[in-house]
Amino acid sequence: MNNESKKRWLFLSWSYSRRSEDIAKIGDFDYFYFPLSQKIRLFQFPLLFVKTIFHLFKKRPEVIFIQHPPIHAILPVLLYSMLTGAHYIIDSHITPGTTLIEKPHHNIYLFLHRFYSYLATVTLFHSKAILERGKKWRCNYMVLENPVRILDIESHFPIQRRPAIGMVSSLSPDEHIMEVIEVAEDLKNVVFYITGEKKKIPRKILTSTPENIHFTGYIKGNNYYEFLKAIDLAIVLTDRKESALLGAYEALSAEKPLVLSDTQTMRYYFPRGAIFVRNSKDAIKAGIEIAIRETGRLRKEIQQLKVEKLRKQDENFSKIEELLGSRN
């Protein structure tokens, strides 16, 4: 499919997502999102429904990628699709055991997700751990791993000294921020940069962390990739065993060696270029020390892995185009 036809493609979401932005960037089509406040999100849904309908009829896309969750964002896309004959693709960010099935009423959302997926051209999942759901739903589904980008940018992010480690984080409880802070207290020769909204960090932590820890705040767009290119090593942690961590793929785009939580999912997707650790202070510290010593080897491995991921990514985009072609 040529780039001219992709001008009628659109990625739409009800909150900003770097995965969504990167998919659109790689596919060379537009990304548009409506800012969604987490505090009043339920009250925003009716307004966002109307705004979505108006935006779709203004832009007249022929193919719409829609980010899920929230599940409510798919309905206006479905209605537009039924009225215009456009195709829609669901990019589903759900993870078994952590999203949509935590409370009884979430089963309703799961039913709606199944219904919308049955009518979609294809539903994309970020990890093979979720594929069993697609099999049961009898919908078109496939794994589209988190995006890997070719970065043609220079970094202007200021690094205090080296080695510099970037912790890619949303400051969620499952990411073991406190353990990393404790590690930094021991590794005073290493500088740590931790991403994420500063307002999520208790003031006590902000004022009592070691001097070699810097909280960057939330970094967006090319500035974020400049940050990744500037650091020497990236660390991404989680307790969610099925999650294919987006931050690891973003660091892969910048060709940075990784320290990752030791899960089956992450070992499957990152067979090289990474040191795997348990989510404890001692294990994280040991993993960082190994990664620093073996940075040269890990960097070569991560560069090789990036080539493989890019090739697979091209194949997956071709599969999506084939599915769209079969629906015409």
**CATH number of 44's domain:** 3.40.50.2000
197 and 140 belong to one structural domain: no
Q: Residue 56 is which amino acid? A: L
- DSSP for 237-285, written as a single string: --S-TT---HHHHHHHHTT--EEEE--HHHHHH-SSSEEEE-SSHHHHH
> Which residues form the domain of 80?
5-144
Per-residue pLDDT, 316: 93
Per-residue pLDDT, 296: 95
| The last residue of a domain, from among 110, 144, 178 | 144
pLDDT one-digit tens code per residue, 136-178: 777 888 889 999 999 988 888 999 899 999 999 988 888 999 9
Closest CA to 274 of 266, 265, 282, 284: 266
Using CA atoms in the order 97, 100, 104, 105, what is the torsion angle rounded to 10 degrees? 180
pTM of the entire predicted model:
0.85
CB 304 within 8 A of CB 270: no
Q: What's the CA gap between 76 and 113, in Å, rounded?
A: 14
pLDDT one-digit tens code per residue, 229-286: 999 999 999 998 878 889 999 999 999 999 999 999 899 999 999 999 999 999 999 9
127 and 215 belong to one structural domain: no
27 and 99 belong to one structural domain: yes
- Name which of 64-68, 135-139, 196-200, 255-259 the model is least confident about: 135-139
171 and 134 belong to one structural domain: no
269 and 137 belong to one structural domain: no
CB 125 within 8 A of CB 132: no
- Name which of 21-30, 178-187, 198-207 the model is least confident about: 198-207
Per-residue pLDDT, 3: 55
**What does each C-alpha distance from 245 to 11, 43, 80, 257, 328 come to in angstroms?**
21, 30, 32, 14, 34
Per-residue pLDDT, 1: 46
137 and 236 belong to one structural domain: no
**β-strand 122-125 against 141-143: which pairing, if any?**
parallel
